[in-house]
Amino acid sequence: MTKRVLIAEDEPHLVESLSFILERCGYEVAAVTDGKDVFDRVVSYRPDVIVLDIMLPNRNGFELLKQFKSDNELTSIPILMLTAKGQEQDRATALSLGAEAFITKPFSNRDVVSCVDGLLKRYTDKS
Amino acid sequence: MSASAIGYRIRERRRELGITQVNLADRLGISASYMNLIESNKRAVGGTLLAKLAHLLELETDILTGAVERRLSDDLRELPADPLLSHIRLEPDTANELVARFPDWSRAMLTLYRAYLDNNQSVAMLSDRLNRDPLLQESVHRMLTHISSIRSSAEILNDVADLEPTRRTRFVSAIHDESTQLSEAAQHLVSYFEQGDMGNRSMAATEEVDDFIIANNNYFAKLEAAANELRRSFDTQGRRNLGGAVSEFLQNRLGISIDIIDSSSDEKLTAGYKNQCLFDRNRKRLAFLANAPSTTRRFQMIRAAALETSADLIDVLITDQRLSSSESRERARQALASYIAGAVILPYDQFLEDAEKCRYDIEILRQKYDAGYEQVCHRLVTLRDPRAEGIPFAFLRADPSGHTSKRFPQFGFPLPRYGHACPLWNVFSAFQTPFRVARQLAEFPSGRRFLMISRTVTKRAGAFHSQPVLFAVMVACDVLHADRTVYSDGIDFDSPGTATAVGPTCRLCARHECSHRQEPAISILGE
């Protein structure tokens, strides 16, 4: 069954290129650009991995991360956080809130793909 | 050189001026043998004889007595506390010798040290800004997102050989759009940095103003005279309070308008207000936030009047060589105007008489003069007219984080110039009992004891959603003067255990076992 990836990122060009590259790797991809829509989209789409940017309009990525990790039905979805390079505190916060992985911007497409692959493998192995 | 070395200083200066010992004794009206005993440090000199000597030797009394050197020496003693110098064995006591032998080198060293601290503060501020400034963080994140997008699209163009033409066009277009936005974000960031004003408080400037005030022993005779004159200018006939007369004086005589601004106004409108007040000298406009209490309004109105009527006098005073920058001079100008305002509200002679009469009960004094608690404390520090001195008080103001925002030392009281004070001082515990006067007999490692009197003061909030500003104010005097104050009542000064063992600041404190220690003391303080 095709694995689903939800990208929560407000930069449309980045969403387009990431979607393109993940789809080429065999994933089904959906995207959401506004922080306030992320939770509902996760509930309706039920992705296998969430790629979540820290700075989203209207809802901070950390708040969303905390909400997912405290929700019994959603807590098992692995989350890949997108942080800005050099902001060590952000990474520490992301991990302490339960993010499974993070990637710092600017990243390579290969970094994202291998990270999503790795998370799904771990997630699949667990289930 | 110790205070007892005044005789050597007199002899040296006399010789410089080519005056014989006999001649000097004659002009002083004392015997040559007595003069010889003074110069040999076998007789003390003070009072009018000291003043006369200083006059004849064309020196300021402070220089002759060595007070200037002692202050310099005290300041230098804080250098060994700096971690930067911890590996050098600097004996604090040798500072005296250094100052005595090489005063100019000592001053140069202190100047450099202050500049170093100032720069450190700027670096810390910039570093903090880079790490915490939300606008900056967002800009950096935005730029990195644009770069990620460009890189991602570029990789696709490079790596995907069978890319459809329409998709290729879209990714090329994305790179174009993203690089344009990246350029704009970069320009925005550069202009943000070029705004220049980092809002930093130059330590060097504040230190210089401190030194300037301390060098004058917290007292300015000329400003007292200016205050008396200004008070006479106010038409208080038939008025119950001074405030109304000052308001009339400002508007009718000086053409300064007075406005009240809604405290809950847009922050942009109330930006620049300090002490709930903004005085625009060019526009001749004095504006208050509506939450400014009447004592603050009166004080600031008089202050504005002083800036106008005593401008020439203040200009002369701030030409002092200790004030080396325009920022220092401007800060000193504001401080001197405040001095005049305090002196108008609390006239020296009357205030001193009342203070002695009520045994320095600050509450009684503030009621009598309808003044703020901090205003009264501040005025107490300035009662240093050699003709009629009050108790020598040191003054410290701190906020709840421990940051000290105002300090007026007195000789002998170890107010740290840099960093935090001892956490055991009651100026900090005063926050636990707001608006109640706390007193504390504090004993320093040197064995000197001081009576500390502290209380919180607040600048009231402008609206429900704003936070009132809270400070704690402390005045402290040597225990030798404590019995002249109401705050000594009931304290058994002779009973062991009455005094709290405190220090000046952890790094300069020899109480190694203190459970309140925040950082290690410098090793040369001894085990």
Is the pLDDT reported for residue B249 higher than 80?
yes
Residue B224 pLDDT > 90: yes
pLDDT digits (tens, 9 = 90+) for B50-78: 888 888 998 877 778 777 777 888 888 87
Residue B223 has pLDDT above 70, yes or no: yes
Element housing B168 (H / E): helix B165-193
Q: Taking the alpha carbons of B4, B7, B12, B17 in that order, is the dihedral positive or negative?
A: positive
The answer to whether A46 faces chain B, any CB pair under 8 Å, is no
Residue tagged 């790094």 (tokens)? B507
Name which residue leads in pLDDT, B192 or A96.
A96
Chain A residues 82-121 within an 8 A CB cutoff of chain B: 84-87, 89, 105-110
What type of residue sits at position B159?
A: D
Q: How far apart are CA B10 and CA B61, in angstroms?
A: 11
Taking residues B233-261, what's their average pLDDT? 81
Record: contact A106-B167, CB cut-off 8 A: no
**Residues of B with CB below 8 A from A24's CB?**
160
Cβ(B66)–Cβ(B2) below 8 Å: yes
Distance from the first to the final alpha carbon of chain B: 27
Contact between B116 and B79 (Cβ < 8 Å): no
Using one digit for the tens of pLDDT, what is the confidence trace for B106-144?
A: 889 988 888 888 787 777 767 666 665 556 777 788 888
Q: Give me the pLDDT at residue B263, please.
A: 66
Which of B392, B424, B422 has the alpha carbon at shortest distance from B409? B392
pLDDT at B376 over 90: yes
What does the alpha-carbon distance between residue A17 and residue A110 come to, in Å, rounded to a whole number?
A: 12
Interface confidence, given as ipTM, is 0.88
Chain B residues whose beta carbon lies within 8 Å of the beta carbon of residue A21: 152, 155-156
CA A83 to CA A95: how far, in whole Å? 11
The CA–CA distances, whole Å, from B43 to B210, B237, B252, B456, B468 equal 33, 54, 59, 46, 56
pLDDT at B411 over 70: no
Inter-chain contact A17–B141, Cβ cutoff 8 Å? Answer: no
Helix axes B362-369, B373-381, angle to 10 degrees: 110
Q: Which residue has the higher pLDDT, B109 or A90?
A: B109
Closest residue in B to A107 (Cα) is B148
State the average pLDDT for chain B: 84
Which pLDDT score, from 0 to 100, does residue A86 have?
60
B163: contact with A, CB 8 A cutoff = no
Closest partner residue to A17 (CB to CB) among B142, B144, B149 is B149
pLDDT at site B336: 96
pLDDT of B523 reads 44
Show Cβ contacts of residue B476 under 8 Å, excluding neighbours closer than 6 positions.
B393, B394, B395, B396, B413, B442, B450, B451, B452, B453
Enumerate domains of chain A plus CATH numbers: 4-115 (3.40.50.2300)
Residue A36 sits at the chain B interface (C-beta within 8 Å): no
Give pLDDT, residue B525: 40
Q: Regarding predicted confidence, which is higher, B326 or A23? A: A23
User: For the segment B440-450, what is each residue's pLDDT rounded down to a tens digit?
Assistant: 999 988 777 89
Q: With an 8 Å Cβ cutoff, is B177 touching chain A? A: yes
Segment A28-41 mean pLDDT: 95
